[in-house]
């Protein structure tokens, strides 16, 4: 365990004691959000991303140790474990190295070498592979092993069998495999080609060659998909004339009569066993790295999408566009409660469009609608044009926004949606979801499997368990960063809170329904199956606005209430001042008293004291309110209205390896290629995140291919 702690500390660049503290907390069942927020003194204020990285790496190292133990036991059971081999296994840094060491001792399927051993040719192979100077010539040595009864009819047959055994021994040598693996990583090329003549999305890779070291993740994923769909033939090409000398130097002893025999066996080992095996391994490793990179991009894109600022306190109309089934309409009040629903047909013709506008105008006036959320799927463009006409006819006062409807259909057909809206048709449920996505994106999107939200590249090609794990972590971090209201939060939102499960979340809602609103945080302990440990993990993230104890409205953990009260007393304030928002001088007074000295008086560390001050200054604050608000529009443009050089404001919708997609209000997102960003970066995520409001200039519009090229470099 000490070695593991040292390895993690070295890789993360953190003190070993901090790493050990985190490992201990994880083993005790603490969640990442809880550790990140309420145990800062123990880990030096690592953020949730670094803590998740530590947890992932810890899991890998533990799996590695477990595999080492399995391999060691298996070899020992065969009576072949030497001190040198035991040391090599103990010092292996990766699973690949452990498997290389285990290869000679692994139970193999029936191979050429196995068959040769059954014919009694192993002593001949051992004799020739030893390459002693007084060794007889291979043919002479092989003559002693001719045995027609087992199928060895001539010395040549015996040599052929011995060759198979020596080739397998060379292939199983861990040091040789490691050297050749490193050579392939440095000097190999990935090549893709096709016999296809038809155009396709893979045309960039029809004649493609790139050094392994320069391949980008998105290229690997695109090539893999093209190969799966039968468009591409893919291989890794290594110069054989570079690899063979490396192999010969490792196994051939000059001056021995058996030298040429071993040289031929080495070439056979490379061509038949080592190269195909390392090629498969390298392809798998490249895919794994590309997957991890793509999953990281999903996580990066998902977080700002979930953390989009809510458009609070407004009656909102949700429009789920469609052709055949019409446009589904739902009006929700400021809390998301459904007020009205309808189905209209704006795409059926001019008469139906005017009927639609009349019907929606009546709903807007009846319910005092201020915002309209339009789903970005089928018929979105026509619905947007109708909405602009509608806004003009009602005389303004209403604005609209296109929202992503990714996953809305998944949600509306789910058991959860059926429980929430049993009285509504599946299609109307998605309109409700779209309206609520504008009001509070996080509360609505947590109801959907993160994989269905769709931000990033090649999500369906990813290892789904790993993708789900990473995205669930992001959702968990976002929900806990914002906090949830114990009296209004849905079970979907509550189960993402640190320490709560699907069962305890449902129990909490049931308790609330049966006993009325929560009036203190301590009441959470009365919820069935929500014990002291779960309370410790969840309490700081759950707000109780109805509580008389003002600290229950904040992110201050109950364990720090005494510290918060001591801080207020030292600075000349009371809890009543927190309630009244009269703490203007709190930070100045705390700094004047000396943060370290004050932290000692309050019995907490400086990071916790800083967090308490932040919470007291803005009790019940929503971190999303500090972000730029979303762009709400009242007019619409089309791609044909765009001209090169035109300046526009837009919202970043997706960040990918080669650029960013920006919504500029013309239904079709435009691409800012990485080369057109304001400054040179290795990856667009260094500059931009989903939801950022940016200024762009039009470069080119290709209406036929529905492509809009943008730049963030002022012309």
Phi and psi, residue 708, nearest 5°: -120, 120
pLDDT number for residue 75: 94
Please state, for a pLDDT cut of 70, what percent of the chain lies above it: 98
**Which contacts of 259-265 are long-range, i.e. CB under 8 A and separated by 24 or more positions?**
259/131, 260/138, 261/128, 261/138, 261/159, 261/162, 261/163, 261/166, 262/128, 262/129, 262/131, 262/166, 264/163, 265/129, 265/163, 265/166, 265/167, 265/170
Joined tokens for residue 212: 């392994």
Q: Do the Cβ atoms of 392 and 335 come closer than 8 Å?
A: no
Please state, for a pLDDT cut of 90, what percent of the chain lies above it: 66
Residue with tokens 């470069």: 699
pTM of the full structure: 0.78
Residues 6+ apart with CB under 8 A from 385: 636
Q: Is 79 left (phi over 0), alpha (psi -120 to 50) or beta?
A: left
Strands 371-375 and 338-344: unpaired
Question: Residue 110 — very low, low, confident or very high, per pLDDT cuts 50/70/90?
Answer: confident
User: Of 433-442, 513-522, 647-656, which range is least confident?
Assistant: 647-656
What SS3 state is found at 559?
helix
β-bridge partners, 401: 373
Measured CA to CA, the distance from residue 410 to residue 449 in angstroms comes to: 8
Domains identified in the chain and CATH numbers = 2-105 (1.10.10.650), 112-188+238-297 (1.10.3500.10), 316-463 (3.30.420.140), 639-711 (2.40.50.140)
Mean pLDDT of 511-523: 94
Residue with tokens 């040091």: 175
pLDDT number for residue 635: 66
Measured CA to CA, the distance from residue 451 to residue 448 in angstroms comes to: 8
Measured CA to CA, the distance from residue 672 to residue 692 in angstroms comes to: 13
Residue with tokens 């039009």: 698
pLDDT number for residue 447: 86
Residue with tokens 């606005």: 545
Strands 484-485 and 542-543: parallel
pLDDT number for residue 666: 77
Mean pLDDT of 490-519: 94
Sign of CA dihedral 296, 302, 303, 305: positive
Measured CA to CA, the distance from residue 383 to residue 389 in angstroms comes to: 10
User: Of 397-401, 513-517, 700-704, which range is least confident?
Assistant: 700-704
Phi and psi, residue 147, nearest 5°: -155, 90
Encode burial over 173-189: b for 16+ CB neighbours within 10 A, e otherwise: bbebbebbbebbbeebb
Q: Would you say residue 511 has pLDDT above 90? A: yes
Mean pLDDT of 651-670: 84
Neighbouring C-alpha atoms within 13 Å toward the C-beta of 247: 29
Question: Residue 637 — very low, low, confident or very high, per pLDDT cuts 50/70/90?
Answer: low
Question: How far, CA to CA in Å, does 551 sit from each of 8, 67, 459, 464?
Answer: 37, 48, 42, 40
| pLDDT tens-digit map of 547-605 | 999 999 999 999 999 999 999 999 999 999 988 888 889 999 999 999 999 999 999 99
pLDDT number for residue 634: 66
- Selection from 429, 544, 543 nearest residue 483 by Cα: 543
Angle between helix 83-91 and 95-102 (nearest 10): 160
Q: Is 456 left (phi over 0), alpha (psi -120 to 50) or beta?
A: left
Measured CA to CA, the distance from residue 337 to residue 360 in angstroms comes to: 18
Measured CA to CA, the distance from residue 690 to residue 709 in angstroms comes to: 18
- Selection from 137, 468, 126 nearest residue 299 by Cα: 468
Question: Residue 317 — very low, low, confident or very high, per pLDDT cuts 50/70/90?
Answer: very high
Measured CA to CA, the distance from residue 525 to residue 381 in angstroms comes to: 50
| pLDDT tens-digit map of 250-269 | 999 998 999 999 999 999 99
Encode burial over 517-528: b for 16+ CB neighbours within 10 A, e otherwise: ebeebebbeebe
Mean pLDDT of 488-512: 93
């Amino acid at each position: 365990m000490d070695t593991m702690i040292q390895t993690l500390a070295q890789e993360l660049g953190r003190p070993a004691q901090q790493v050990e503290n985190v490992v201990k907390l994880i083993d005790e069942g603490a969640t990442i959000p809880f550790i990140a927020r309420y145990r800062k003194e123990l880990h030096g204020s690592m953020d949730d991303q670094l803590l998740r990285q530590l947890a992932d790496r810890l899991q890998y190292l533990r799996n590695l140790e477990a595999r080492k133990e399995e391999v060691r036991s298996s070899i020992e059971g065969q009576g072949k474990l030497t001190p040198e081999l035991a040391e090599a296994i103990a010092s292996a840094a990766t699973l690949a190295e452990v498997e290389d060491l285990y290869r000679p001792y692994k139970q193999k399927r029936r191979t050429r070498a196995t068959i040769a051993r059954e014919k009694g040719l192993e002593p001949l192979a051992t004799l020739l592979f030893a390459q002693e100077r007084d060794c007889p010539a291979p043919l002479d040595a092989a003559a002693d092993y001719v045995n027609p009864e087992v199928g060895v009819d001539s010395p040549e047959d015996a040599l052929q069998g011995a060759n198979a055994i020596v080739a397998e021994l060379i292939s199983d040598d861990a040091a040789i495999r490691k050297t050749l693996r490193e050579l392939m990583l440095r000097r190999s090329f990935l090549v893709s080609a096709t016999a296809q003549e038809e155009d396709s999305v893979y045309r960039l890779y029809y004649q493609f060659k790139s050094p392994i070291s320069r391949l980008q993740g998105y290229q690997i994923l695109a090539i893999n998909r093209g190969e799966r769909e039968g468009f591409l033939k893919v291989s890794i090409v290594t110069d054989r004339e570079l690899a063979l000398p490396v192999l010969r130097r490792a196994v051939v002893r000059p001056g021995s009569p058996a030298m040429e025999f071993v040289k031929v066996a080495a070439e056979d080992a490379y061509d038949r066993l080592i190269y195909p095996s390392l090629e498969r391994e390298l392809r798998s490793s490249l895919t794994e790295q590309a997957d991890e990179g793509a999953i990281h991009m999903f996580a990066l894109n998902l977080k700002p999408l979930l953390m989009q600022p809510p458009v609070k306190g407004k009656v909102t109309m949700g429009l789920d566009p469609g052709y055949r089934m019409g446009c589904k309409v739902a009006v929700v009040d400021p809390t998301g409660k459904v007020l009205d629903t309808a189905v209209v047909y704006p795409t059926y013709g001019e008469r139906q469009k005017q009927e639609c506008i009349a019907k929606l105008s009546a709903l807007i006036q009846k319910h005092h609608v201020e915002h309209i959320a339009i789903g970005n799927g089928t018929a979105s463009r026509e619905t947007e044009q109708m909405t602009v006409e509608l806004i003009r006819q009602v005389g303004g006062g209403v604005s609209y926004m296109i929202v992503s409807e990714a996953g809305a259909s998944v949600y509306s057909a789910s058991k959860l949606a059926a429980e929430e809206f049993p009285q509504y048709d599946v299609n109307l449920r998605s309109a409700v979801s779209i309206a609520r996505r504008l009001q509070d994106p996080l509360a609505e999107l947590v109801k959907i499997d993160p994989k269905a939200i769709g931000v990033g590249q090649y999500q369906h090609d990813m290892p789904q368990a790993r993708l789900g794990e990473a995205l669930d972590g992001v959702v968990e971090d976002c929900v806990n960063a914002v906090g949830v209201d114990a009296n209004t939060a849905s079970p979907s939102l509550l189960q993402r809170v640190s320490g709560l499960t699907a069962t305890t979340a449902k129990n909490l809602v049931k308790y609330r329904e049966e006993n009325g609103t929560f009036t203190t945080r301590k009441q959470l302990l009365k919820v069935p199956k929500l014990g002291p440990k779960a309370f410790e993990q969840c309490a700081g993230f759950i707000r109780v606005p109805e509580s008389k104890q003002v600290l229950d409205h904040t992110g201050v953990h109950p364990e720090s209430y005494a510290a918060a009260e001591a801080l207020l007393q030292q600075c000349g304030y009371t809890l009543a001042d927190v309630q009244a928002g009269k703490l203007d001088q709190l930070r100045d007074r705390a700094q004047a008293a000396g943060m370290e000295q004050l932290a000692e008086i309050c019995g907490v560390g400086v990071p916790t004291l800083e967090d308490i001050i932040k919470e007291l200054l803005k009790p019940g604050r929503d971190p999303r309110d500090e972000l730029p608000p979303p762009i709400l529009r009242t007019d619409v443009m089309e791609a044909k209205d765009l001209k090169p050089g035109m300046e526009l404001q837009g919202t970043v919708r997706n960040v990918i390896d080669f650029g960013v997609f920006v919504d500029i209000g013309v239904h079709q997102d435009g691409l800012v290629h990485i080369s057109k960003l304001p400054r040179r970066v290795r990856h667009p995520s260094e500059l931009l995140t989903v939801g950022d409001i940016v200024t762009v200039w039009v470069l080119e519009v290709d209406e036929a291919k529905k492509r809009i090229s943008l730049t963030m470099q002022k012309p």
